[in-house]
Amino acid sequence: MLRVGRIAIAIAIAVAAGKIIDPKTARSQILGGVVMGIGMALHEDALTDHRFGLLAKPTHDEDAPMSNHTATRAAPTLPAPPLPYDPAYEVAEPDEDKTEQELVRTLLEIAQTTFDDSGLGLRSVHAKSHGIVRGSVTVLRLPAPYAQGMFATPATFPCVIRLSTSPGDLLDDRVSTPRGLALKVIGVDGERLPGSEGATTQDFLTVNGAVFLAPTAKKFAASLKLLAGTTDRVPRLKLAFSALAGAAEKVLEAFGGESANLKGLGGHPETNLLGETFFSVVPFLYGQHMAKWQIAPVSPALCALKDAPVDLHKAPDGLRQAVSAHFATTGAEWELRVQLCTDLETMPIEDATVEWQQDQSPFVTVARITVAPQTSWSDTVAAQLDDGLFFSPWHGIAAHRPLGSINRVRQQAYQQSADARSPRGRCPVREPRD
């Protein structure tokens, strides 16, 4: 809401340090400082990094004194105010309960197929892990409307990150598919979402694309059912098709385009996934508002890996090897960002194929993710963290409840898939406490 009016300043006090040489210059400097201070007080959340005595700014310029150290961030000016959430914005699809049941059956069918073929308890989607690391999430000191839910006050939480690719079977990495980053934050207080009572985790599930392949739950379930029929079948054909799709995608990108469909079918460029930017694709509550998430690399080592090729020739696990090589010597930093919904016409809740444009509402950093060098893959890591963890958008607090039909049907589908996987793994599925 824009408020206008007149403010009368009865008295302003300025304190000068040191001997004044030129009274005119001193007076102009004092007046300038007073005017700037009044302006900041009236209409800006101007935040100061007291370690340096400088204003926090939305940048991580390597030459700035606050480079990679900024603990606070001022809010940008939005073209329109964020919309408050209203239950009327969510509209259930016809027979949505049947769609949910169909999705449950499909995920269990995929898991059963891979278990029968391999004896492994795999996830029904994003089955192949390329690295799992522990780190921390530091929530910044934020102005309204960003200081809500988990991000209401500055804090630092432990976290676990899992890097993956989307299929439900363990494919050669040359079948190059979309990548995922799942973030589990531990120790988050607040009213819990149904099904996550007693836990203290907040999960963020993201992929390296701004839109989903299906707009609604019904079409998502239908597309996944088609893919289920190919699980653990014709691996050579999948390699050949991936090569064709990859070649077509390269042609598109050479002319400034890209195709989410080609990438989803195996045509994703063979690049290092640590250089990717990840998106929630579907919306969530953000306290009183609605938002999407973004996780973006910011440390120089990660930024250098953007579009960096990975040689997958004779390396069926080449992505995992690339991630392991990085974390063996180098850490990583990402920013967790929020994009608030400001217009339901152009930023719909129930259509996941529509990208929310950043000129309408930019992504704003609300937290920083830090990971130190470590072993990102081993038998122990795989057993304890890959087999033992379960990521779901419904692990979290009510202030960040998932929105939209795709999110709604994921709740029971993901839970039942995890329940089926747990006794088949090397470690039972459980939510961590530390």
What's the pLDDT tens digit per position in 118-172?
899 999 999 999 999 999 999 999 998 999 999 999 999 999 999 999 888 888 9
Contact 358, 296 (CB under 8 A): no
Q: Is residue 82 part of a domain?
A: no
Q: Is residue 384 part of a domain?
A: yes
- Note the pLDDT of residue 15: 65
317, amino acid identity: D
Q: Is residue 155 part of a domain?
A: yes
- Note the pLDDT of residue 297: 98
- Note the pLDDT of residue 177: 86
What span, in angstroms and rounded, lies between the C-alpha atoms of 142 and 75? 8
What span, in angstroms and rounded, lies between the C-alpha atoms of 127 and 169? 6
Task: Identify the CATH number of the domain in which residue 217 sits.
Answer: 2.40.180.10
Structural domain count of the chain: 1
What span, in angstroms and rounded, lies between the C-alpha atoms of 180 and 129? 9
Query: Is residue 421 helix, strand or coil?
Result: helix
Which residues in 50-88 are b (16+ Cβ under 10 Å) and which e?
A: eeeeeebbeebeeeeebeeebbbbbbeeeeeebbebeee
What does DSSP assign to residue 141? B
- Note the pLDDT of residue 137: 98
Of 110, 123, 199, 2, nearest to 421 (Cα)? 123
- Note the pLDDT of residue 168: 84
Residue 378: which domain range?
Answer: 87-424
Q: Is residue 282 part of a domain?
A: yes
Q: Is residue 376 part of a domain?
A: yes
Q: Is residue 356 part of a domain?
A: yes
The ranges of the chain with pLDDT < 50 are 1-4, 44, 48-54, 57-72, 234, 236-255, 257, 259, 262-266
What span, in angstroms and rounded, lies between the C-alpha atoms of 134 and 326? 14
Contact 265, 241 (CB under 8 A): yes
Q: Is residue 405 part of a domain?
A: yes
Q: Is residue 265 part of a domain?
A: yes
Long-range pairs of 187-191 with CB within 8 A, sequence gap ≥ 24: 187/157, 187/158, 187/434, 188/150, 188/157, 188/396, 188/397, 189/397, 190/149, 190/150, 190/397, 190/398, 190/399, 191/397, 191/398, 191/399
Query: Is residue 188 helix, strand or coil?
Result: coil
- Please report how many Cα atoms fall inside a 13 Å half-sphere around the Cα of residue 170, on the Cβ side: 16
- Note the pLDDT of residue 230: 74
